[in-house]
Structure 1
Amino acid sequence: MNAAGFRRLLQQAGLLSRQQRSLLIEFLRPALGLDQVCEAIDGARPAPLCCPGCGGFRHYRHGIVRGLQRYRCRACGRTFSALTGTPLARLRHRAKWIDYLRDMLDSRSVRAAAKRIGVHRNTSFRWRHRFLDGARLDQPERLAGIAEADEMFILESQKGSRCLDRPARKRGGSAHSRGISHEHDCILVARDRSGQTRSCITGRAAVTPSQLHRHLLPVLDPDVLLVTDGHVAYRTFTREAGIAHAFVNLRAGERMRGAVHVQNVNSYHQRLRSWLSRFHGVASRYLPNYLGWRWALDEGRIAEPEQLLRAAIGIFHIQR
């Protein structure tokens, strides 16, 4: 539409009734949502954008597809956009992404989000884990100063699996043996006093020194003071890694000794466990995604849908 025609349209907008104005706003909402998505994607991409096929930087614009600029590489001829190679590639209904991400920030269930934005529940489920596939990697690289580490356990789940390697449980069920066993997923959470948090799944049953070397050592600053409970695995790990270590003897009733305590990480455990309960069971294979989701929400670290979208995209195309 040319400028003159648009001005005439704006002049006629004042003649609309209240119902007509409401219908017009609802009609424009998908277009506005698509504009928000494209602006967030364009604002997060690196400059210059390189070809995901050959890594070349010589390309030219090659049309617009669903509101997003597309490019063609001059070297290999491949076409690509800012979403090519990301977890969000080939997902449809981009105009509804912002509304869906807003539901994720509100921790809505799959079905509730699907009903609110008007997509199938399977689409809602697929979107959730596509968005979280990149967002779960958005964690701090290092923990410094005083860092606390502790593990929490939840019953392993094969929710949604068609082939089980054990007899099915009814409504969650319970472990066959008392205490911590190979029927429990071990979630290791490390958190420093500034609030930076790393969480991961170490495996089943109690944590071992080898698992701590694999998951915890790469994220600890060399000068860190690691504070834990009295578990022997932590003492073995810190001795082998040469890391300063202090612990509290929880079995003896010791909760705090000056700055030596694990209340910071245990508070995070409580928030995580309470938040997971609203989903009525999380499949073990998707648990890492939910850990990244909880970290994104913790203390309002990510509060806007556009922020979550950028975290989901992660790095676009980097030079090889």
Structure 2
Amino acid sequence: MPKKNACAARVAAMTDDEFTELAAAVDERRCRDEYGFGTYAEAAALYRPDPACPSCGAAEPSRDGWSESGLQRYRCESCGTRFNSLTGTVLEHCRKELATWVGFVNLMRFNVPLDAAAETCRVTHQTAWEWRHRIFAAVDGCQERIVLKDRVWIDETYVNDTDLAHGYGEARKRGLSKQKLCIAVAIDVHKNPVAVVCGHGKPSAKRIRDGLQSHIAEGSTIVGDKEKSHDSLVRAVKGTHEAYRADVGDPVYLERMSLVNNLCSWLKRYLWRFTGMDPKNLQSYLNWYVYLFRVNQARDRWPETERVVRHLLMTDARFHSST
């Protein structure tokens, strides 16, 4: 005979309000046990103990009491601005418990569709959409700092532009038409990736150079197909060029280009999960993919979800509803 749950009768006797409070307390406890923090105040004390003034940037503001939720308040000695430990982050003004946010981050790590994430976290679709773009706002600058080096593979992949201005609802044209968005993709021997939107249709040498030059260290060996638009990039980074004719029947080409070809394939599978996405947000989705790629690489040092939450707290970023 199965052992009876000693708490079942007490839980069954609770009012709806009591049960809601209990569920929130359980989620908070579980979050604290797993990640080391259960509330915004605890997380902010851990990862944002001495924030700079969000108005003037002055360091070491004076402590100015506590908010009702337990957040530390500060007052800037330079400009007089009053703020708390979450001011200037994407978690500012969040009304849901931190445990709900952590659950949403977990779902975003696996790129769960928005409707499923909203239902699982018990929030509206609009709230889930806003949370997704708050997270995007926090990680959007991360890819800008990535510089690939030594041996770098580059290629392009294409996705359909669903914007009405670029042929949505019309018969799809063959080849690399203006109905397709180009994504320039690069990955180095150290498994660091980059993915940058490069406009519509087949990219020019200038678009490839503008998209990737800042991400490739000088003197690197660039490996790609014999696309002429790559030559300008190779010259710009003062690198060497190792080129192979794109032929899926050539085992040498498939072997030498497998790393970047696989990355292109992974990116497409990732983007297929977001059918109907606004094309103007495509770069943010790519930034999130690259960010997660790097988070997963460091999972031995940082648990993935904890690292994302830490990043949200330590990064000064704001969400704008026009995103």
State TM-score, norm by structure 1.
0.80
2:8 to 12, 15, 18: 18
Look up the match of 1:9: none
Name which of 201, 204, 211 aligns with 2:200: 204
Whether contact under 8 Å (1:147, 1:224) holds in the other structure is: yes
1:141 and 2:143 aligned: no
Residue pair 2:61, 2:74 contacting (<8 A) in 1 also: no
CA 1:241 to 1:104, structure 2 compared with 1: closer, same or farther past 3 Å? closer
Structure 2 residue matching 1:250: 3-state secondary structure: coil
Aligned pair in 2 of structure 1 residues 257, 48: CA closer, same or farther (>3 Å)? same
CA shift in 2, pair 1:36/1:247, >3 Å? farther
CA 236–314 in structure 1, closer or farther in 2 if over 3 Å, else same:
same
Deviation string for 1:189-235 (max 9, x for gaps)?
11012111111111111122212222211111112111111110002
Work out the number of aligned pairs and report it. 292
State the partner residue of 2:261.
266
Check whether the contact 1:207–1:233 (CA below 8 A) recurs between aligned residues. yes
User: Which of the numbers 76, 83, 88 marks the counterpart of 1:85?
Assistant: 88
Cα deviation code 1:9-49 (max 9, x no counterpart)? xxxxxx9633436957524135445725444443333x743
Structure 2 Cα separation of the partners of residues 72 and 25 of structure 1: 35
In structure 1, how many angstroms separate the alpha carbons of the residues matched to 2:166 and 2:204?
Answer: 25
Kindly provide the CA deviation profile for residues 131-154 of structure 1, in whole angstroms up to 9, marking residues without a partner as x.
122223333521111111111000
Q: Is 1:213 paired with 2:209?
A: yes
Mean alpha-carbon deviation: is it higher for 34-43 or for 238-247?
A: 34-43
RCO higher in structure (CA 8 A, sep ≥6) = 1
Equivalent position SS for 2:94: coil
Change (3 A) 1:132 1:219: same
Provide structure 2 residue ranges, at least 5 long, that are not aligned to the other structure: 13-18, 32-36, 318-323
Inter-CA distance 166–188: structure 2 relative to 1 (3 Å threshold): closer
Query: In structure 2, how many angstroms separate the alpha carbons of the residues matched to 1:214 and 1:37?
Result: 40
Aligned pairs (5 A) from 1:279-294: 279-294=274-289
After superposition, the Cα gap between the structure-2 partners of 1:127 and 1:183, relative to the gap in structure 1 and judged at 3 Å, is same
Q: Choose which of 143, 152, 155 in structure 1 pairs with 2:157.
A: 152
TM-score (ref. length: structure 2): 0.79
SS of 1:279's equivalent in the other structure is coil
User: Which of residues 2, 24, 28 in structure 1 aligns to 2:25?
Assistant: 28
Counterpart mapping for 1:171-190 below 5 A: 175=172, 177-190=173-186
